[in-house]
Copies of this chain bind each other. A is one copy, B any other.
Amino acid sequence: MEDQFIKAATLIGDATRAAIMWTLLDGRAFTATELSIAVNTSPQNMSMHLGKLLEANLLCVEKQGRHKYYRFSNKEVAYVVEAMANLIPKPEISSKSKIENYPPIKYCRTCYDHLAGKIGVALADSLLEQKIIIEKSNTFEISTEGEKWFSDFGINIEDAKKQKRIFLKPCLDWSERRYHIAGSIGTFLLNKMLEQDWIRRTANSRAIIITGKGEKELLKNFNVVV
């Protein structure tokens, strides 16, 4: 019991392995070489560390030819890493859009059931910018114009409100250190975008692929450059 806990803690608590976990947090799968570059260590050392994480079932691999793709083996692992990320002092919530200062958006991912990552954050910024949602003492609310916008987008706000869970709340994105949209409305947004084939889920990770159509629509609707 206790020793198993300590084992898990010491596994994650090595600088190199912690960096691996941090890298994998965005939900994509990485190859061993990619990871060794990202984490700035030798391939041999990476191999050693990945072996340990693998054996402890914190990571899993998928072999594709001569490549091996590593990712978190289950959501519990992601929870740990996110909980640790959450220990870092939070930045202030900012309703001012900073999309224009962004480097090209590289990836996005789901935060379990809503859109996170760079896209998720940029989308939240845009909705705030357009006053579709408004910030009110650290919570989000839908404006009157916003209600129209959501219904035009094909989302029934009343349905989302009926769900047995929180309707709308800001969710901090650990890698971006910025807020995105969670709650049932977040799920509805994600599902709508999947439905319209703007984005697609990947087989075994939390990463999201943006389709050609999605790229155009994201730019048009949210001024997000993919």
Contact = CB atoms under 8 A, between A and B. Distances in A.
A48 to B, nearest CB: 17
Contacts of A10: 13-15, 18
Interface stretch (A93-101, A162-170, A210-218): A162-170
Interface in A73-88: 76-77, 79-80, 83-88
A215 to B, nearest CB: 28
Interface string A1-37: 1101110111111110011011000000000000000
B1 A9 contact: no
A76 B85 CA distance: 10
A58 interface: yes
Contact of A177 (B1, B87, B167): B1
B166 A5 contact: no
B164 A8 contact: no
A77 to B, nearest CB: 7
Contacts of A83: 76, 79-80, 83
Interface residues on A, range: 20 to 34
B9 A18 contact: yes
Q: Which of A8, A11, A21 neighbours the largest number of chain B CB atoms within 10 Å of its CB?
A: A8
A6 B2 contact: no
A139 to B, nearest CB: 14
Nearest to A5: B22
A88 to B, nearest CB: 5
Interface of A: 1-2, 4-6, 8-15, 18-19, 21-22, 58, 76-77, 79-80, 83-88, 164-167, 177
7 contacts: A6-B18, A8-B84, A13-B14, A13-B18, A164-B165, A164-B166, A165-B165
Given A8-B84, A80-B87, A164-B167, 20 more contacts: A1-B88, A4-B88, A6-B15, A6-B18, A6-B19, A8-B88, A9-B14, A9-B18, A10-B13, A12-B12, A12-B13, A13-B13, A76-B86, A76-B87, A77-B87, A79-B83, A83-B83, A164-B164, A165-B165, A165-B166
